[in-house]
Amino acid sequence: MNRLTITGIIFMIIGIILLINDIIDPIITSFTHIFLMGSSEGKDIIFFLLMGSMLILSPYIRNGKDKNFYLLITIILAISTYLIIIIAEFLIRIKIGMNPYTTFVTFNPAATTSITHSHIPKASLSSLTNIIAPTHIHTASSLREYTPPFLLPWLLIISPLIYVLGLLSLGDRRNFHKVILIFAITTTMIGMIDGGLFSTPAMVGLSGMLGMRALKVPFSPKNLINPSIIIASLIILRIIIGLMLSTPEYYEVTLLQPKENINLESFKVLSSERLDDKMIIRLSPDYNEIKLINELTTTLNGKCKGFFITWNFYSFFR
């Protein structure tokens, strides 16, 4: 066994331990948080199992003739999946008649999703992952009823395909380059399941794959100019979306199927009105967006089926 195989076995063992018990999760998360972001233990499990299995199989992939072609197809399929996830987020809001530029929150378990950080793929897979995932793994299952029906079969077909093509793209690369590429493919697949195009795993993964695709021998820094431009453009686009599509004047919160006994006295309510099976509330913009979502999730649990809330990117600078 070479070093890649041994490392892969260690990664697989860590992944299995995380799946069975969360005893080492605080230690692992403090490391993986850097490139996976968020507190989802499921990301850690997927990371170690995927990367571990690819490291174990990597020594058996030796044909390097078409390695960059396979990598190109892998990149195209990954980006296509990210775009389909964004389309799914739009379709959910169009069906309910909501502003596309909102965060959607559901209950039991509490789950959030938006164009900028989507949990819809994870929710669509929850019917399967709930069978094997321990109860402490968050699968966003409360969002499942809202997911477009095409998303689950797409993910079930594309995910294994990206895995296989990713393996083939390793070819006869140096071991160090194989590790970088396996890391990139793994984080890309995690972004496809949890977060979407603008998530940290997606950015990290795409950076690695694009960088390896552009790498030439002998190495020149010029090889990384185009990949850097692409990733920088995505980061800038994410910032522009946050700045241009926010509603800094107030938070508009739309409750779905609200009950009668909703008490929001602890919040700074500017206005409130009922419209068919919805309740539209405007709140003061003085809140930090994430803290407000958490407080509303606690307060409204059991009082409505779910709610949408507009973005306020500027609240993070307070």
Residue 130: C-alpha distances to residues 125, 138, 256 (Å): 8, 9, 26
Q: What is the pLDDT of residue 279?
A: 94
Residue 147, CB-side half-sphere exposure with 13 Å CA sphere: 26
Please give the pLDDT value at position 187. 96
pLDDT score at 38: 64
- Distance CA(312)–CA(196), nearest Å, equals 20
pTM: 0.93
Whether 52 and 9 have beta carbons less than 8 Å apart is answered as: yes
What's the token pair of residue 41? Answer: 């233990």
Q: In what order do the strands lie in the sheet with 111-113?
A: 111-113, 102-106, 306-310, 251-256, 278-283, 269-275
> Smallest Cα–Cα separation from 152: which of 185, 193, 202, 188?
193
Q: Which two tokens stand for residue 285?
A: 């913009």
Q: What is the CATH number of domain 251-317?
A: 3.30.70
The full set of domain ranges for the chain reads: 251-317
Q: What is the β-pairing status of strands 278-283 and 251-256? A: antiparallel
According to the model, what pLDDT value does residue 78 have? 97
* Strands 111-113, 269-275: pairing kind: unpaired
Average pLDDT of adjacent 10-residue blocks, the chain of 318 residues: 92 91 82 78 91 95 89 97 97 95 95 95 91 78 95 96 96 93 97 94 95 83 87 93 93 94 90 91 94 95 95 84
One-letter amino acid for residue 206 of the chain: L
**Distance from C-alpha of 169 to C-alpha of 72, rounded to nearest angstrom:** 9
State the DSSP string of the chain. Answer: --HHHHHHHHHHHHHHHHHH--TTHHHHHHHHHHHH-SS-HHHHHHHHHHHHHHHHHGGG----TTHHHHHHHHHHHHHHHHHHHHHHHHHHHHHHT--SSEEEEETTTTEEE-SSSB-HHHHHHHHHHHHHS-TTS---GGGGGGS-TTHHHHHHHHHHHHHHHHHHTTTT--HHHHHHHHHHHHHHHHHHHTB-TTSHHHHHHHHHHHHHHH--SS--GGGGHHHHHHHHHHHHHHHHHHHHS--TT-EEEEEES--S----TTS-EEEEEEETTEEEEEE-TTS-HHHHHHHHHHHHBTTBSEEEEE--GGGGG-
